[in-house]
Amino acid sequence: MSEAAPIPLRVTTPTVRQPAVARNVTELSERAKKVAAIDVDFFYGTHQALHGISLEVPENCVTALIGPSGCGKSTFLRCLNRMNDMIDETALKGQILLDGIDIYQRGTDVVELRKRVGMVFQKSNPFPKSIYENVAYGPRVAGIKKRAVLDEIVEKCLQQSALWDEVENRLDDSALQLSGGQQQRLCIARALATNPDVLLMDEPASALDPKSTAAIEDLIFELKSNYTIVIVTHNMQQAARVSDQTAFFYEGHLVEVGSTTDMFTNPGEKKTEDYITGRFG
C-alpha cells in the first residue's frame, strides 16, 4: 500500500469518525464550543453531499477543513451560515449549533445569523462601489446611518485586515481597481464590519500570489484572538501553518478531526496520511 496506490473510486464510511479528539484531550477540547455540527446530512436534490458530519469548532481557534475537490468541505462551510439556502432544492438533516442554539430550527432569523457568521469567498467579490462603501455596506444594511460611526468602523476594519495604510487616501476609489490580494483583504474587512463571532473562509488565498497569500495567513493568525475562524483550503502547508484544528473530509464523510499538530505528525487514519502526504487528491 505504501506504493502509489490507485485512487479508490469509493470509500466506505469510516468506522472511527473522531479518533483525534479522543486522543488529544488538551487545550482544544477545553475551549468553549462555538459551533457544533451534530450528525449533519446534506442533499442537493437527491444527491447526498454530506454524510453524518459531527464536528465541533472551538472558540478563538482556526479550524481548517481539508480534503480533495468535491469532498463536501465547502458545502459544509456554507451550511454554517445557511448560504446553501440560496440554492434551490437543497435539504439538511441534523443540527448545527451556534453557541448552543440550532441555527436550522424553525424561526431562525437567517439575516441575523449571517451578521454573526461572516464569510469570505474563494474569488474576491467586492461590490462595484467605492472601497469605503464596500466596508460600510454591512453596517449600513444593519441600520447604522451616522457617518461618524461608519467612518470609525471602516477605519477599524481596514486596519484589522491590514489594508488601511494602502487605501487610506483613496477610500472613494472603486474597489475593483485594487489588486487581487488587496481585494481579498477588502472582502475580509467587509466581513469584519458586521462584527461577526465566526468567520468562514472558502479557500481565501487560492487565487493569490505567494506574497498576498502570506499576508492573508498573517491576517488569519491576527484575527483568531477575536474571532472563531473556519477555513477551507486545498493547500496542506497552509492548513498546517494557520490552523489549530484540522478536519479531513473525503467523499462527503468526515474521516478524521484533531489538533493540527497531531493530524500532520500522527494521523489516525490511513486515508488522512495518504492525503496529507500527497498520495492522492
Partner 1 sequence: MKLHAHSKSRPYAKFASTCFAVMCGFCTVLSVLVLLVVLWNIFSYGWSALSWNFVTSWPSRFPAKSGIWSALIGSLYLIGVTAVVSVPVGVGAAIYLEEYAPPSRWRTLVQVNIANLAGVPSIVYGILGLGLFVRMMHLNRSVIAGGLTLSLVVLPIIILSAQESLRAVPSTIRQASYALGATRWQTIWHQLLPVALPGILTGVILSLSRALGEAAPLVVVGAATFVAFTPENLMTDEFSALPIQIFNWTEQPQKDFHQLAAAGIIVLLVVLISMNALAIILRQRFGKKVKW
CB of 278 to partner 1, least distance (A): 31
Residues from 87 through 126 that contact partner 1 (CB under 8 A): 88, 111-115, 118-119, 121, 123, 125-126
182 burial via Cβ count (<10 Å: 0-12, 13-18, 19+): buried
In the list 194, 212, 228, 272, the residue contacting partner 1 (rule: CB under 8 A) is 194
51 or 116: CB nearest partner 1: 116
Stretch binding partner 1 (CB under 8 A), from 54-62, 130-138, 155-163, 213-221: 130-138
In the list 43, 44, 104, 127, the residue contacting partner 1 (rule: CB under 8 A) is 127
6 or 143: CB nearest partner 1: 143
CB of 11 to partner 1, least distance (A): 31
In the list 5, 32, 141, 149, the residue contacting partner 1 (rule: CB under 8 A) is 141
How far apart, in whole angstroms, are the C-alpha atoms of residue 275 and residue 259? 16
What lies within 8 Å, CB to CB, of 99 at 6+ separation is 34, 197
Interstrand relation of 117-120 and 198-202 (parallel, antiparallel or unpaired): parallel
Interface with partner 1, residue 201, by CB under 8 A: no
CB of 111 to partner 1, least distance (A): 5
In the list 174, 206, 235, 261, the residue contacting partner 1 (rule: CB under 8 A) is 174
In the list 43, 44, 137, 280, the residue contacting partner 1 (rule: CB under 8 A) is 137
CB of 125 to partner 1, least distance (A): 4
How far apart, in whole angstroms, are the C-alpha atoms of residue 233 and residue 205? 8
183 or 243: CB nearest partner 1: 183
CB of 53 to partner 1, least distance (A): 21
Please report, as ranges, the residues that interact with partner 1 according to CB under 8 A. 81, 83, 86, 88, 111-115, 118-119, 121, 123, 125-130, 137-138, 140-142, 173-176, 187, 190-191, 193-194
